[in-house]
Chains A and B, each alone.
Chain A
Amino acid sequence: MSSSELYKGEVILDDSSDIPEGVSGLDLSQRPNIDDYGYGGTAAKFDDSLVIPRSEWQARIQEQEETESRTSDICRLYSIPPKNQGRLNYCWIYAPVHAMEIMRVRAGYPYKPLAAAQVGASIKQGRNVGGWGMEGVRWIGENGIVPESVYGSSPEIKAGYQSPAMQAAARQHKCTEWVECRPKSLDQLVSMLLRGYAGAIGLDWWHHEVMAAEPVWLDGEVAIRIRNQWEGWGANGFGILRGSKMIPNDCVFPVAMSAIKEAR
């Protein structure tokens, strides 16, 4: 394999690219330890024994592509569309929620779109403001998240986002086990992706958080395929980050599919 095949219309953002314009919302000002783990007990720290050596990356990427085990393959198989944050400054919750949707499917649950807007509105008490990953991870672990079938799929802050009915519906969809990667650690990010997990990465240069889907191999080096929650962006939401643009300032993965609580 010389290079991974790109999807038609896929956006590539490298060191020479301008910052894409769109609604974002990442605010890392409240994140402790800007260069180190910052989630405290909300997410487990990445286990360094799980690092996959760089010497294996190209072969492992090829294996993912040949076995169709990439996140983009799962999205195609189950027709999982990208999310759409619309005018909401809630990228920091849309990205981890999309990763959670995909983890549910990988664990054997039917695809069920989850209402990121409801979580963002609940955390920010109805305000359309920025945030960062841990706020969402903590909330989803404690309170869960409402399906779009209950809240609606449009990206808006609706009255009643924290009504008793919403709270009851949310409690049925929790994810309590997450893994945090150290900021700026490409090795940890790529290792988690090669192990088949989709995560959320916060990118300071973009003031934006997106879902990290899988690594790709381009021109002899690794790059990261992301899925952005901007309507109509990229190839069905997919794009590529290269060079310094793929280095995350915040990074968290939902990991244990069986920890996604599903009431019967």
Chain B
Amino acid sequence: MYSRLILTLCLLVVPDVMLPHHSSPTEPAPTQTPTVVDTLAADEWYLIPSPEPLKVLASPDGIVEIEEDSGPVKLRGKFAGGSGIEARTIDAPHVYLITAKTAGQVELLILEANGHLTRQRLTVGGAGPRPPPVPVPVDPVQPPSGLQVILLIEQGDPVSSLAAVNSAPVLQWLGANTTQVDGRPGWRRWDRSSLSDPDTLATESAVWAKLWQDIGGGIPAGPQLVAVNGSKVTTRPITDQAQLMKDLAAAKEGRL
């Protein structure tokens, strides 16, 4: 029945949708005035958890995408009404994830099994990056073993530095000498500008996200080689191909 419908969506246990008959006698009274979340940015999720199946529609078509999932589920990303990247546990058997497809106004129609209908208008932001659901790892992240390499660059870096990180011998060396993580070679080329976008690491494996969380703040400016060998992290400026190859070889041998 609709009174059991719990639409707790936001970080502060503030519902995105306020149903007129919402009640939850076993829960303490909210300590703040709930505000209905009525905007959805391009890179956010709007969540509707429910103990019972719902029929969730959007009118008009094409503004948002609605996906149904089953809970409990842990999600990491941006949430409508939240503040930046968060990890949330949605502890409900039925979870409806609403994401933006294009900018516009849309009305959500939430139909409960007993026929009760809730309407919620949403202002949807323009299209843009939207992270896929990323399960929060349950197991502790293990530090990588062997050699891992990050090539950190920007579009505006010196051309010789960019030629170095693009060169076939360097890529070949990295493929052959780094230790695979999650079935992929143990190296990444990251653009500093895209690292400021939290979506970048949200879509990376837990090992790389943790690695960046641990070391990212201490890396000098400019194009940098970041070599991780066990617990040892070393950085060197990337100047040209010859120097980069020397530094990589030294990192492999533990001499960097």
Of the listed stretches A119-127, A128-136, A152-160, A169-177, name the one at the interface; the rest are far from the partner chain. Answer: A169-177
From residue 191 to 208 of chain B, which have CB atoms closer than 8 A to chain A?
191, 193-195, 197, 199-200, 203-205
Let me know if A73 is at the binding interface, CB within 8 A: yes
The residue among A69, A141, A259 with the most chain B CB atoms within 10 A of its own CB is: A69
Are A195 and B159 in contact, with the CB atoms below 8 A? Answer: yes
Contact B203 A47 (CB under 8 A): no
A105-113, A222-230, A244-252 - the one binding chain B: A105-113
Quick one: which of A38-76 are within 8 Å of B by CB?
41, 47, 49-50, 52, 56, 60, 63-64, 67-69, 73-74, 76
Number of chain A interface residues as a range: 35 or more
Contact: B132 with A171, CB < 8 Å? yes
Closest to A172 in B: B132
With beta carbons under 8 angstroms apart, the residue of A64, A110, A257 that contacts B191 is A257
Q: Nearest chain B CB to A55's CB is how many angstroms away?
A: 13
- Among A64, A76, A106, A264, point to the contact of B189 (Cβ < 8 A): A106
Q: How far is the CA of A50 from the CA of B158 in the complex (A)?
A: 10
Interface residue B41 (Cβ < 8 Å from any Cβ of A)? no
User: CB distance B191 to A255 under 8 Å?
Assistant: yes
Give 1 or 0 for each of A171-189: 1 = CB within 8 Å of chain B CB. Answer: 1101011010000000000
- Is A1 in contact with chain B by the CB < 8 A criterion? no
Q: Are A67 and B241 in contact (CB under 8 A)?
A: yes
A63 with B163: CB separation less than 8 A? yes
- A74 & B129 in contact (Cβ 8 Å cutoff): no
Report Cα–Cα, A166/B184, bound state, in Å: 24
**Contact between A74 and B166, CB atoms less than 8 A apart:** yes
- Complex Cα distance A221/B105, Å? 53
Which residues of the other chain, B, contact A179 by a CB distance below 8 angstroms?
155
A-chain residues with CB within 8 Å of residue B240 when the two chains form the complex: 67
Which of the residues B101, B128, B184 comes within 8 Å of A176, measured between beta carbons? B128
A177 to chain B, nearest CB (A): 7
List the B side residues contacting A47 at CB < 8 Å. Answer: 155-156
Measured CB to CB, the closest approach of chain A to B223, in angstroms, equals 12
Whether, in the assembled complex, B172 has its beta carbon less than 8 Å from a beta carbon of chain A, the answer is yes
Q: 19 additional contacts, CB 8 Å, given A67-B163, A107-B189?
A: A47-B155, A49-B156, A63-B163, A67-B164, A67-B166, A69-B162, A105-B171, A106-B166, A107-B190, A110-B184, A141-B128, A194-B159, A196-B162, A255-B191, A256-B191, A257-B189, A258-B195, A259-B199, A259-B200
Task: Name A's B-contacting residues (CB within 8 A).
Answer: 41, 47, 49-50, 52, 56, 60, 63-64, 67-69, 73-74, 76-77, 105-110, 138, 141-142, 171-172, 174, 176-177, 179, 194-196, 255-259, 261-264
